Amino acid sequence: MDTPLRNPVRSIFETTLRDDSVVVNIGPSHPATHGTVQIIAELDGERVLRSDVHCGYLHRGFEKECEDHTWHNLIPYVDRLNYVSALINDFAYCDGVEQLMGVQITPRCRVLRTLLSEYSRLVDHLTCLAAGLMELGAMTAFLYLVMVRDYMYEHLAALTGARVTYTYGRIGGLARDLPEGWLARMEEILVQYEEFVDRVHVLVDRNRIFIDRMRNVGVISTADALSYGFTGVILRSTGVPRDLRKDMPYLAYAELDFEVPVGIKGDNYDRYYVRMREMDESVHMMRQLAQMLQSPALQGPINVDDRRCTFPDKPLVYREIESLINHFKLVIDGPVVPAGEAYSAHESPNGELGFYLVSTGSGTPYKVHCRAPSFVHMGGAHLMLDGGQLADIVPTFGSINMIGGECDR
């Protein structure tokens, strides 16, 4: 290489505060951080004096690309934001478009979306906890949790046809209804989930090594968390019971019985425990929703009967000209969304996932903005890292659960 490569980032500090401290660069591709993120830290021995967190290494122009495709075509893109709980992205995005179009989804779709949202939350928390525990050396706990997660991935693949990025939401409904025996298999998996999560509780909760690494590490105060726009598990771990599912109920959450677990100190241990408790609440909700889905009142269609957004049945497309034209118009021009703007927010596993959509009345969005919780959390991550040990960056970063696809868009 003739010319040296330019550094893609410029740190906020170029000189050290003291003579005996050093500046080290961690990442963007570091084996101990899951997520492509760069942390430039000034160290006094092993203690972090200050840090500068850089994200953006997975930026791929999501919002720019969205302005060039029809409303339907964006569904696979939004899947790839938070790829650990892709279904929640789908539903939050579709919810925004449905608000603009004034579409009311069917009762069965509403309950099914709620069930799948909770399923996604469960998968996301399992992944986050498993990875976080593995980074602390708890390999057994990692394998227990990831094994259960893999049953869930396979189970979701049986419904959606894909393991991770499902493309299952549709504007005004869902891709397809549940296959035969799906809810029965779900109950089997939930029973296994309970068994293995119980084992993790026993292995980890009162484990001296775990507590020493997690208690009073990565602490954030309630005031700081609010000021830095933190939402989701991190805000709840500081004791604020803010949960959109309770505060602004969407989908079927108003009809469900569940609690919002909160922490006390806002440290890593609280975030671990809040996630564990939230998973139990999700399972509790999934069982209620599975009951509801079997009731005769909820045996109706999953897609609204609205020619503006719902694709006609395939046999009709082949047989009659109106459906054929309808199909072509929806594919080529996209669903015509009335001019306006909407902000739809769902409680994603990481916090408030918002979609701000602007339409000028055509089949293509004028603007799609994703309010990504991970990105906002990165803005305050230095508060949790500064003053701690270098080695604490790993568990603290794990407990923030930064997802690159969503953070960098």
Partner 1 sequence: MADPIFSTLQQALVPAAGPATLAHGILVFMLTPAELQPAVRRLRDEFGFDLFLDVTAVDWLGQSPRFELVYHFYSTTHKQRVRLKARVDEGDPTVDSLVPLYGSAAFMERECHDMYGIVFRGNSDLRPILLYEGFVGHPLRKDYPKQREQPLVPYRS
Q: Please report, as ranges, the residues that interact with partner 1 according to CB under 8 A.
A: 5-10, 12, 54-56, 59, 61, 63-65, 68, 99-100, 224, 226-229, 231, 240, 242, 247-248, 340-343, 345, 352, 354, 356, 358, 366-367, 369, 371, 375-376, 378-380, 408-409
Q: Could you tell me the smallest distance in angstroms from the CB atom of residue 261 to partner 1?
A: 17
Place of tokens 């509780």: 201
Q: Could you tell me the smallest distance in angstroms from the CB atom of residue 237 to partner 1?
A: 15
Our CB check for partner 1 shows the closer of 179 and 379 to be: 379
- Give every strand in the sheet of 351-359, ordered side by side: 340-348, 351-359, 367-371
134 CB contacts (<8 Å, ≥6 apart)?
Answer: 141, 142
Q: Could you tell me the smallest distance in angstroms from the CB atom of residue 158 to partner 1?
A: 35
Our CB check for partner 1 shows the closer of 252 and 292 to be: 252
Our CB check for partner 1 shows the closer of 55 and 74 to be: 55
Core vs surface per residue 375-387: b (16+ CB within 10 A) or e: bbbbebbbbbbee
Both structure tokens of 224? 């700081």
Q: Could you tell me the smallest distance in angstroms from the CB atom of residue 243 to partner 1?
A: 11
Q: Could you tell me the smallest distance in angstroms from the CB atom of residue 235 to partner 1?
A: 9
Q: Could you tell me the smallest distance in angstroms from the CB atom of residue 41 to partner 1?
A: 17
Our CB check for partner 1 shows the closer of 97 and 256 to be: 97
- Angle ∠(214,392,198) on CA atoms, nearest 5: 30
Q: Could you tell me the smallest distance in angstroms from the CB atom of residue 27 to partner 1?
A: 15
Rounded Cα distance between 96 and 341, Å, is 9
Our CB check for partner 1 shows the closer of 150 and 341 to be: 341
Beta strand pairing status for 340-348 and 351-359? antiparallel
Place of tokens 């922490």: 263
Our CB check for partner 1 shows the closer of 24 and 339 to be: 339
334 CB contacts (<8 Å, ≥6 apart)?
Answer: 69, 70, 71, 72, 73, 362, 363, 364
Both structure tokens of 327? 């199909």
- Give the phi and the psi of residue 349 in degrees, each rounded to 5: -55, -25
Our CB check for partner 1 shows the closer of 17 and 157 to be: 17
